Amino acid sequence: MGKQINVALVGNPNTGKTSVFNQLTGLTQKIGNYPGITVEKKEGVTKISRILTAHILDLPGTYSLNASSLDENIVIELLLNKNHKDYPDVVVVVSDIENLKRNLLLFTQIKDLGIPTILAINMADRMERKGIELDIPQMEEQLKTKIALVSARKKTGFDELKKHIKNYSLLPTTPCCNVSSIDKSYFDKLQQTYPEQERYKLWLLITHDANFGELDRKTIASRNGLPQKTKDEIKKLQHKEVVARYQFINGMLKACFKQDLNLAKGMRAQLDKVLTHPVWGYLVFFVILLLIFQAIYDWSTIPMDWIDEGFAYLGQWVKLNLPAGMFTNLLAEGVVPGIGGIVIFIPQIAMLFLFISILEETGYMSRVVFLMDKSMRKFGLSGKSVIPLVSGTACAIPAVMAARNIENWKERLITILVVPFTTCSARLPVYLIIISLVIPDEHLLGIISYQALALMAMYIIGFGAAIAAAWIANKSLRVGTRSSFVIEMPDYKLPIFKNVGLTVVDKTKAFVVGAGKIILSISIILWVLASFGPSDTFGNARKNVQAEMASTDPMPQGVDMEQRIASYKLKHSYMGIMGRGIEPAVTPLGYDWKIGIALISSFAAREVFVGTLATIYSVGSDNQITIKERLAGEKNTATGKPLFTLASGISLLLFYAFAMQCMSTLAIVKRETNSWKWPLLQLFLMTGFAYLTALIAYQLLNL
3-state secondary structure 597-629: HHHHHCCCECCHHHHHHHHHHHCCCCCCCCHHH
Query: CB burial class (10 A; 0-12, 13-18, 19+) of residue 584?
Result: exposed
DSSP letter string over 161-190? HHHHHHTGGGS--S-SS--GGGGHHHHHHH
d(CA 557, CA 510): 51
- Nearest residue to 199 via CA among 229, 179, 227: 179
d(CA 543, CA 552): 15
Q: For position 554, what pLDDT does the model report?
A: 55
Query: CB burial class (10 A; 0-12, 13-18, 19+) of residue 615?
Result: buried
Radius of gyration of the chain (CA): 30
39-57 burial, b at 16+ Cβ within 10 Å, e below that, comes to: bebbbbebebeeebebbbb
Q: For position 80, what pLDDT does the model report?
A: 83
**479 in the Ramachandran plot: left (φ > 0), alpha (ψ -120 to 50) or beta?**
beta
Contacts for 631 with CB less than 8 Å, ≥ 6 apart: 433, 437, 613, 617, 644
d(CA 662, CA 678): 14
Q: Is 7 helix (H, G, I), strand (E, B) or coil?
A: strand
Q: Is 533 helix (H, G, I), strand (E, B) or coil?
A: coil
Q: Is 460 helix (H, G, I), strand (E, B) or coil?
A: helix
d(CA 47, CA 53): 4
**220 in the Ramachandran plot: left (φ > 0), alpha (ψ -120 to 50) or beta?**
alpha
d(CA 458, CA 350): 19
The interaxial angle of helices 677-701 and 409-418, nearest 10 deg, is 40
Is 124 in contact with 97 (CB distance < 8 Å)? yes
- Nearest residue to 172 via CA among 118, 134, 245: 118
**Structural domains of the chain, with CATH:** 1-262 (3.40.50.300), 280-429+439-477 (no CATH), 515-549+559-701 (no CATH)
Question: What does residue 384 show for φ and ψ, rounded to 5 degrees?
Answer: -70, -15
Q: For position 639, what pLDDT does the model report?
A: 72
* CA angle, 57 then 59 then 62, to 5°: 155
DSSP letter string over 376-444? HHTTT--GGGHHHHHHTTT-HHHHHHHGGG--SHHHHHHHHHHGGGS--TTTHHHHHHHHHHHS-S-EE
Kindly report the pTM of this predicted structure: 0.63
C-beta pairs of 350-353 under 8 Å, 24+ apart in sequence: 350/504, 350/508, 351/295, 351/296, 351/299, 351/300, 352/292, 352/296, 352/393, 352/425, 352/428, 353/394, 353/425, 353/503, 353/504, 353/507, 353/508
What are the 10-residue block averages of pLDDT along the chain, 703 residues in total? 86 82 69 40 82 88 76 79 86 90 92 93 82 91 94 88 93 87 83 79 74 56 66 84 91 89 64 84 84 74 80 82 82 75 73 78 77 74 72 70 71 87 81 87 82 89 91 75 58 73 74 67 75 78 75 54 70 80 88 82 72 63 61 74 88 92 77 84 92 94 84
Contacts for 692 with CB less than 8 Å, ≥ 6 apart: none
Alpha helix positions (H), 214-363: 217-221, 231-256, 261-264, 268-275, 280-321, 326-330, 336-343, 346-362
d(CA 349, CA 504): 9
d(CA 307, CA 423): 24
Bridge partners for 148 per DSSP: 120
Give the single-character DSSP code of 156: B
Bridge partners for 93 per DSSP: 10, 119
Is 356 in contact with 296 (CB distance < 8 Å)? no
Residues in the chain: 703
